[in-house]
Amino acid sequence: MPYQNAGKSLALETGKLAATINNHRPDYKSEKTEALYRYIFDNSPFAMAIFDAASLEILEVNETAIKIYGYSRQEFLHLTVYDIRIPEQHDLLRSQIDSGVYLFDKTLRSHKKKNGDVIQIEPTLTEIIYKGRKAYLITVNDMTEKLAMQQELTRAKVRRQREITRASLKAQEKSRTEIGRELHDNINQLLVASVLFFKKTQPATDGDKALLETGTDIINTAISEIRKLSSTLVSPSLNKLSLKDSIVHLLPSLNVIDTAVEFDVRINENTIPEELKISLYRIIQEQFSNIIKHAAATKVKLKMIQAQNILTLMVSDNGIGFDQTRHARGIGLDNIIHRVESYNGKIFIESSPGCGCKINVEFCLE
């Protein structure tokens, strides 16, 4: 970066200033050079200081340091480097000086201003001789504003990604709903019509009658399966049911594998956004599907509690569980995590072999 290079250049030039002062010779050229370096030091856009290498007492500062840190020149000259470092970094500072690595440490560090504000700085250090004593020249690049901007850009990127994810989920729900309606209102009606035609057919033999009855049974089974599939595709908001009632309609799916369900839902649905309700429904639906396919569980607990602006969802089972360190997440869990993150939620997954699986999800409703 230009500022960084400029800071290093100024540090070297100011190092020459210190050497010039230390080896001062009373001639016109020397005085002119000293004045030039003093001007560079005092007018640098970077905070600059010289401090004693042994005691760490501050010996000199420039105007930029005074403006940034809020201390007067006289106040600075009564401070040590420890006074402008946050207390949490004092031990690190001492160990770096004792080990001789302090001069080479270019990492960001936290400095404290007179008013207590903490700033993040990038240092450039040079070892010099100042007025006959070993000292360090430090050039400070205040990175606080830049870091804040980077953090804001990161937050904006995350917000944008969440918006994209929500739009994607919304489009996905619309597509699923259209497919569900098409299956229910079109395909199923065609199958129902086929059954009616079969029933009006007069079989010529008992064999023909048996074939018609078998065909009718197959079509009726298909109608039943399509109705089930359609109900899983259409989002609960379109069924004119509350979220709680929609979840209740999911519970019989666990009866297929003879799983007992402990159910506890205490929420104020008026405070939950419609799109979040759909995501909660889909999360539960997805986890129930995981339990049916993989868990071999005999008990499932579902709890959804709302305490002020925090909504917590917990789904646990006593199934076979899995080793989280050895097994990659399946599509089902990835879908759940994807939905949780899109609403800035938090998810905690606990599972181990033989100990079932527990999923905790938290959403802030503010």
Residue 337 falls within a domain, yes or no?
Answer: yes
- Tell me the pLDDT tens digit for each residue of 241-267: 788 888 888 888 777 677 888 999 999
Residue at a domain's end among 122, 142, 162? 142
- Tell me the pLDDT tens digit for each residue of 111-124: 999 999 999 999 99
pLDDT of residue 153: 87
CA distance 308 to 324: 32
Residue 46 falls within a domain, yes or no?
Answer: yes
pLDDT of residue 75: 96
Residues of the domain holding 130:
2-142
- pTM of the full structure: 0.54
Assess whether pLDDT exceeds 70 at residue 97.
Answer: yes
Residue 178 falls within a domain, yes or no?
Answer: no
**The pair of three-digit structure tokens given for residue 328, joined into one six-digit string:** 């990659």
pLDDT band at 44; cut points 50, 70, 90: confident
Shortest CA distance to 84 belongs to which of 128, 126, 125, 117?
Answer: 117
The position carrying tokens 């999923």 is: 359
Q: What percent of the chain has pLDDT over 70?
A: 84
CA distance 89 to 92: 5
Residue at a domain's end among 142, 168, 189? 142
CA distance 105 to 94: 13
CA distance 76 to 233: 70
The reply to whether 8 and 135 lie within a common domain is yes
Residue 179 falls within a domain, yes or no?
Answer: no
pLDDT band at 237; cut points 50, 70, 90: low
Shortest CA distance to 280 belongs to which of 235, 238, 239?
Answer: 235
The reply to whether 245 and 360 lie within a common domain is yes
Assess whether pLDDT exceeds 50 at residue 232.
Answer: yes
Assess whether pLDDT exceeds 80 at residue 19.
Answer: no
**The pair of three-digit structure tokens given for residue 189, joined into one six-digit string:** 């009606």
Assess whether pLDDT exceeds 50 at residue 22.
Answer: no
The reply to whether 249 and 134 lie within a common domain is no
Q: How far is CA 110 from CA 6, 122, 188, 337, in A?
A: 21, 9, 68, 35
- Tell me the pLDDT tens digit for each residue of 281-331: 889 988 988 888 888 899 999 999 999 899 999 999 999 998 887 766 666
Residue 175 falls within a domain, yes or no?
Answer: no
**Domain CATH number, residue 23:** 3.30.450.20
Residue 337's CB is within 10 A of a number of other CB atoms, namely 17
Assess whether pLDDT exceeds 80 at residue 188.
Answer: no
CA distance 13 to 40: 8
On average, the pLDDT of the chain sits at 82
pLDDT of residue 302: 95
pLDDT of residue 25: 45
pLDDT of residue 113: 94
pLDDT band at 24; cut points 50, 70, 90: very low
Residue 196 falls within a domain, yes or no?
Answer: no
The reply to whether 9 and 124 lie within a common domain is yes
The reply to whether 365 and 254 lie within a common domain is yes
- Tell me the pLDDT tens digit for each residue of 126-157: 888 888 889 999 999 999 888 888 888 888 88
Residue at a domain's end among 142, 171, 196? 142
162 versus 246: the higher-pLDDT residue is: 246
Residue 270 falls within a domain, yes or no?
Answer: yes
Quick check: helix, strand or coil at residue 107? coil
108 versus 198: the higher-pLDDT residue is: 108
Residue 58 falls within a domain, yes or no?
Answer: yes
Q: Name the domain count of the chain.
A: 2
pLDDT band at 172; cut points 50, 70, 90: confident
**Domain CATH number, residue 277:** 3.30.565.10
